[in-house]
């Protein structure tokens, strides 16, 4: 148990330090739109899903959000209907260069995320699952 707490504290410190150096964007927590509103309006976005953990709702334009291979693109109504997050969530705006909004991240509130600006039209999202099972 102490080892997991130590690792979690080191990870939080690393993300905090990384956020202070380099060219990082912002993940700004918002009250609107709600997760349910984004899910109902999903066809107006390019949507990616990380099983049981998170969604990325990318605004449809020429901008790019780089995600790791664990994210799956939602391509049908059935996929969207069968995709859900198994915990309480936060909705955050993904903000890149010059305050430009790229879309939304909806994720478990326990998990950690960070966004790095690659160029004016590209950001990279880093997402880290944090175990809450107590094992």
10 or 24, higher pLDDT = 24
Read off the pLDDT band of 133 (50, 70, 90).
confident
How is residue 83 written in tokens?
């995709």
Q: How far apart are alpha carbons 107 and 24 in whole angstroms?
A: 19
Q: How far apart are alpha carbons 45 and 4 in whole angstroms?
A: 37
Q: How far, CA to CA in Å, does 75 sit from each of 42, 46, 106, 123, 132?
A: 10, 9, 18, 22, 30
How is residue 35 written in tokens?
């997760």
User: To which residue do tokens 């993940």 refer?
Assistant: 27
Q: Where are the domains of the chain?
A: 2-128
% of the chain surpassing 70 pLDDT? 82
Q: What is the mean pLDDT of the segment spanning 119-128? A: 97
Positive or negative, the Cα torsion across 66, 72, 78, 84? negative
Any residues with CB less than 8 A from the CB of 33 and at least 6 apart, and which?
Answer: 41, 91, 104
Q: What is the mean pLDDT of the segment spanning 104-131? A: 97
Q: How far apart are alpha carbons 105 and 93 in whole angstroms?
A: 6
Q: How many helices (H) and strands (E) does the chain have?
A: 3, 9
pLDDT mean across residues, the chain? 88
């Amino acid at each position: 148990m102490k080892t997991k707490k130590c690792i979690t504290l080191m990870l939080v410190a690393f993300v905090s330090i990384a956020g202070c150096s380099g060219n990082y964007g912002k993940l700004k927590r918002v009250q609107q739109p709600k997760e349910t509103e984004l899910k109902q309006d999903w066809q107006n976005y390019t949507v990616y899903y990380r099983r049981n953990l998170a969604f990325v709702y990318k605004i449809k334009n020429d901008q790019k959000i780089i995600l790791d291979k664990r994210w799956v693109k939602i391509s049908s109504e059935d996929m969207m209907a069968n995709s859900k997050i198994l915990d309480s969530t936060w909705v955050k705006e993904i903000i890149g260069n010059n305050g430009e909004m790229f879309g939304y991240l909806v994720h478990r509130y326990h998990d950690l995320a960070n966004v790095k600006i690659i160029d004016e039209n590209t950001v990279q999202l880093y997402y880290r699952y944090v175990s809450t099972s107590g094992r």
